[in-house]
A and B are shown apart, each in its own frame.
Chain A
Amino acid sequence: MRVGEIVKVSGTVVFGRGIPDIEVGEVVEVGEEKLIGEVIRVFEEDFAAQVYEPTSGLKVGDPISGTGKKLVAELGPGLLMNIFDGIGRPLEDLIKLSGPFISRGIKAYMLPRNIKWEFKPTVKAGVEVGPGDVVGEVQETPYLVHKIMIPPFMRGVLKEIYEGEFKVDEPIGIIEIDGEDKKLYMYHEWPVKIARPVQEGGRLPLTTPLITGQRVIDVLFPVAKGGAACIPGGFGTGKTVTLHQLAKWSDTDVVVYIGCGERGNEMAEVLTEFPELQDPRSGRPLMERTVLIANTSNMPVSAREASVYIGITIAEYYRDMGYDVSLMADSTSRWAEAIREISGRLGEMPVERGFPAYLPDKIAEFYERAGRVKVLGRPDRIGSVTVVGAVSPPGGDFNEPVTTHTLRFTGVFWALDADLAYSRHFPSIHWLKSYSLYADSIIQGYVEKAVENNPRLREIWPNVLEEYPRYRVEAMNILTNASEVESIAKIIGEKALPDDQRLLLLTNELIKEGLLRQNAFDPVDSYSEPERSVLILKAIIDFHRMAEKLVRENVPIDRIIESPIVSRIKRIKLDDRKFDAVVELLRDIRDNLSSIAEEYRVSITF
């Protein structure tokens, strides 16, 4: 241990002197209480460290010592169902050590040391093993099998491998590396700021949709497994609820949820709710596939950066086992602000709204850790990390550095809109401002999934695979055209519009109400199965096409607006018969509009 002394304390940044070989990124222990910090700059004589705990009480001359280690995450069984603070300490252990309020200088291991895991080897002693090779399995939760892998950069001959119950710090085998015997454990440490390696050239194209059960996302602006999405919105526009919905319903094997600089009660909500909710695919509690990281807004600022890196490292680790992982970070703006604050305390030159020039690099580095890849080691496996980052732009104005830089490095933009939120249209993802660069390559996968889930879809809609993309485009066109009509209606009033334009407004409202708007807290509506979403889209567009024919034959639009089928379409998503209800609705739309046609003696066949 190399010990130096403190020469200056300025908020969370502490300057030290007297350790010539200190390096950037090294973890230091600061003061008598051994507060944890990380070296961020090395100057000629001094060095600066950001401290992850409140610095009150430190003084010039106090010891500061280098640990020789980087900030690492412990990776092994025991991560799932757990909740950590920004530097990876389990919050449960902190309660045991200091009660309900977090005090300073507490140390805790990231992985539990008291749990024994049932380890089953999958290879025999004597084989040569290399980075990423799976050597055994642990049933971490009833939901997920944790693969025990040889850590990256380790290669040798597996001399011994045991079977039975072990704690994470008990050896499960012996590996001979360059003639030297090393113990093999179920866990290893990884420096969180470095992306975990994958096979060379192992990045794969993104072709599978992440199915979220949120119609506006799945149908209009889908994200690919391994992709990255940005969700900016002012306060009260529903960022957090949307992220919670994604964490609940996304069809990935593991979910990492980072509460970065946000509310404590929101983490309490996740902790109360997730153990109660069931995963729609496995029927197991959602908590069994979830890892939570909580650095709430009143916890130390400097730990916000660490929380984001710890989260993505855990996500990569499960990806390396060959799983699909999704990571939600709420909110990346708080992380960027922490970077700004530290930069300010170092006296660096700000370039844009106080942010340092290297902000875009940091954002890019983070989002580039998303991806779908061939992972290291045998057997061959493919895993993915999908990243969804919330952004909290000041004043709800998207034209600010964190939003604009994030958009450069992500493929999906879900723009949350304050006006929609005020009229309680949630999710308030605005259909004209948002986009998805993945849509073209993954919508086919989505509709295939819908057919796979419920083959009846194909009976009801025989050409669904070919027609669905066209229906989707048509919905987008209606929304776009209707917004133009709406702005005219704002000036002359809706009554003064011609009937075909009023129909456009009607269908626009049906799409908004029946398809896009979704109640996260309604048991029937919270998760919309692909087959149901696909069929609701069909119902609305079919209605539009038929009504268009009627209007062309001079059937008054008011007659169509008055029809009870309109409010049925709006309410169909709440019907607890789900898919079957939409099947029935399709038939009723046809019957209903046919009878209107008869009423006006118009001969049309739908």
Chain B
Amino acid sequence: MGLPIKLSDLEGKVYRGIREIRGSLVVLDPIPGVVFDEIIRIRAPDGIDRLGRVIEVSRDFVIAQVFGDESGLQHDSIVKFTGSTFEIPVSPDVVGRMFNGRFEPIDGLPKISSRDTRDINGNPINPRAREYPNDFIQTGISAIDGMLSLVRGQKLPIFSESGLPHNRVAAQVARQATILGREESFALVFAAMGLKHDEASYFISQFRESGAIDRSVVILNLADDPAIERLITPRIALTIAEYLAFEQDYHVLTILTDMTNYCEALREISAAREEVPGRGGYPGYMYSDLATIYERAGIVKGKKGSLTQMPILTMPGGDKRHPIPDLTGYITEGQIILSRDLHSRGIYPPINVLPSLSRLMRSGIGPDKTRDDHKELSDQLYDAYSRGVKARDLARIVGEMGLSDRERLFLKFADLFEKRFINQGEYENRTIEETLDIGWEVLSILPPEELTRVRESTIEKYYYKAKAAFEGIEK
């Protein structure tokens, strides 16, 4: 909890007495001058300070939400009203540092001291001031670069399930992501919400190994840290990310994991407030609340930096229709979905490209950006792979012998696509050229007249060359 601060050292009004304690909500007497959304500190007789936030003010009472452990709170506690909303100090010195979920240092170094502060809720970017993102980010992962291209300023989440290697995929992206043609690296802002200790240390050791730690800001709320704190952790991270991107000219990649834990904290607070629950008990305003996090990605006209987001969430029960992935998908610019089926067949990264999507892909690819055939090739791969998967489903019922020759060919394609295109090493960093060439190689087992999503001129240019090359490999 950091150094004990004397409450009298803080500015603001001090009151004694809590009327009611309902889990992480406390009801206080109506104190004049209390402002909506202001930050309070509560000190119980146990001497521990807790942070809180005012969420309702009226003539009869004040309701506040407490971040931190509520056990030990009692009627006779002291409450300090700071008069300000949640703000954190910002400075270029945050780069290379590690903090807990309340922005207190955990790397043994002193606190960030700066008079320059920012409200963690931020302000919405004026849509008129946005630059439409169109810089291709090469992640070195074929499934992403070829089929779900990420662009600078995009928010592209990973939808995963417990037990799948989403952390490894995210770490690989963090290690390898570069802007094509420019060897610029990203500054990383990593925010963990309710992450297990071993997962957190995996990420940190990955950042250390690749040297990324020197350009990272790590903010950790771990599984045994207070759940309610998770409501502020991503906002602190994004406030820093915005500061670095739009005031310090960094290209920032922000990884937020695990958003499912965040949403559960949101549900907890909503239940404590006795709000009308929406689907799955999550509050009806979860969409808007998540939007205030995800929409903080982008590029602002006239600013050099950019803010790219890669949130990770585990779908409860692997269900994409669960409110958390569902609402996320409605806000983010696509989704990368990991599949247990591919994982159990030993494919890494187990990205199921069919339900996955990158909405900004087409603005980042093409002749001057990646290659002229990229769009058509990926369309054709999607088409052929979905036919192959359909044939595979059919073969489960009628047996492979029951398939027509054409269906069998597509089935063979699907297998090859998974093994050669999707599958790659965790430390294998493919260039976009390599990715696209592999795409043509796997397509070359189909006859050219099946490639109806590609122009004839594109077939002339790439197909036959790839076919010859691939037949060479086969031999």
Contacts and interface: CB of A to CB of B under 8 A. Distances in A.
B36 A56 contact: yes
Interface in A531-579: 564, 567, 570-571, 574
Given A7-B59, A344-B284, A59 B121 contact: no
A238 B268 CA distance: 33
Q: Describe A's contact surface by its main secondary structure.
A: mixed
A57 B126 contact: no
B390 to A, nearest CB: 8
B334 A236 contact: yes
A291 to B, nearest CB: 14
Contacts of B279: 353, 394-395
Contact of A102 (B126, B276, B298, B360): B126
B208 to A, nearest CB: 34
Given A60-B32, A392-B330, A564-B449, A298 B291 contact: yes
B326 A100 contact: no
B310 interface: no
Contacts of B450: 567
Interface in A50-67: 54-61
B301 interface: yes
Nearest to B60: A8
Contacts of A392: 330
Contact of B132 (A11, A272, A564): A272
B110 interface: no
A491 B38 CA distance: 63
B153 A265 contact: yes
Contacts, number: 219
Contacts of A334: 287
Contacts of A55: 36-37
Contact of A567 (B36, B291, B334, B452): B452
B130 A264 contact: yes
Contact of B354 (A8, A423, A494): A423
Most chain A CB atoms below 10 A, which of B57, B59, B303: B57
A424 B298 CA distance: 26
B128 to A, nearest CB: 4
B74 to A, nearest CB: 26
Contacts of A570: 452
Nearest to B37: A56
Interface stretch (B14-22, B251-259, B395-403): B395-403
B278 A354 contact: yes
Given A91-B128, A102-B126, A513-B452, A344 B383 contact: no
A605 interface: no
B360 A265 contact: yes
A557 B103 CA distance: 70
B285 interface: yes
A432 interface: no
Contact of A10 (B35, B56, B301): B56
A33 to B, nearest CB: 12
A601 interface: no
Interface string B397-430: 1100011100100000000000000000000000
Contact of A100 (B38, B129, B387): B129
A265 B38 CA distance: 31
A423 B403 contact: no
A1 interface: no
A269 interface: yes
B37 A101 contact: no
A301 interface: yes
A423 B382 contact: yes
A73 B57 CA distance: 33
A268 B130 contact: yes
Interface in B339-357: 354-355, 357
Interface residues of A, number: 74
Contacts of A438: none
A157 interface: no
A103 interface: yes
Contacts of A301: 285, 288
A236 B132 CA distance: 19
Interface residues of B, number: 83
Contacts of B300: 100
B132 A265 contact: yes
Contact of A494 (B59, B154, B326, B404): B404
B125 A264 contact: yes
A344 B275 contact: yes
B127 A8 contact: no
A15 interface: yes
B56 A9 contact: yes
Nearest to B154: A265
Contacts of B295: 263-264, 296-298
Contacts of A571: 452
B331 interface: yes
B362 interface: yes
A261 B327 CA distance: 12
B128 A95 contact: yes
Given A423-B386, A424-B379, A494-B407, A59 B36 contact: yes
B383 A423 contact: yes
Interface string B144-170: 000000000110000000000000000
Interface in B1-58: 30, 32-38, 55-58
A60 B57 contact: yes
A297 B287 contact: yes
A58 B3 CA distance: 31
Given A59-B33, A296-B124, A353 B278 contact: yes
B128 A422 contact: no
A396 B326 CA distance: 8
B318 interface: no
A350 to B, nearest CB: 5
Contacts of B452: 513, 567, 570-571
Q: Which of A102, A103, A234, A297 has the most CB of B within 10 A?
A: A297
B285 A341 contact: yes
Interface string B170-192: 00000000000000000000000
A179 interface: no
B30 A60 contact: yes
Interface string A78-122: 000001000000011011000111110000000000000000000
A267 interface: yes
Contact of A341 (B133, B288, B382): B288
Contact of B37 (A57, A264, A395): A57
A183 B126 CA distance: 36
A90 to B, nearest CB: 8
Contacts of B287: 261, 297, 334, 337
Interface in B208-234: none
A458 B124 CA distance: 55
A418 B331 CA distance: 17
Given A9-B56, A261-B287, A298-B124, 16 more contacts: A8-B56, A55-B36, A56-B38, A58-B57, A60-B32, A61-B33, A91-B126, A94-B128, A100-B126, A100-B246, A235-B326, A265-B298, A297-B287, A422-B386, A423-B386, A423-B387
Interface of B: 30, 32-38, 55-59, 85, 119, 121-133, 153-154, 246, 275-279, 284-285, 287-288, 291-292, 295-296, 298, 300-303, 321-323, 326-327, 329-331, 333-335, 354-355, 357, 360, 362-363, 375, 379, 382-383, 386-387, 394, 397-398, 402-404, 407, 449-450, 452, 455
18 contacts: A56-B38, A58-B36, A59-B33, A59-B35, A91-B126, A91-B127, A261-B287, A261-B288, A297-B291, A301-B285, A353-B279, A394-B321, A395-B326, A397-B321, A423-B354, A491-B397, A495-B403, A521-B362
Across the A-B interface, the 7 shortest Cβ-Cβ residue pairs? A297-B291, A395-B321, A8-B58, A100-B129, A56-B37, A91-B128, A423-B386
Interface of A: 7-11, 15, 54-61, 83, 91-92, 94-95, 99-103, 234-236, 259, 261, 263-265, 267-269, 271-272, 294, 296-299, 301, 334, 337, 340-341, 344, 350, 353-354, 392, 394-397, 418, 422-424, 490-496, 513, 521, 564, 567, 570-571, 574
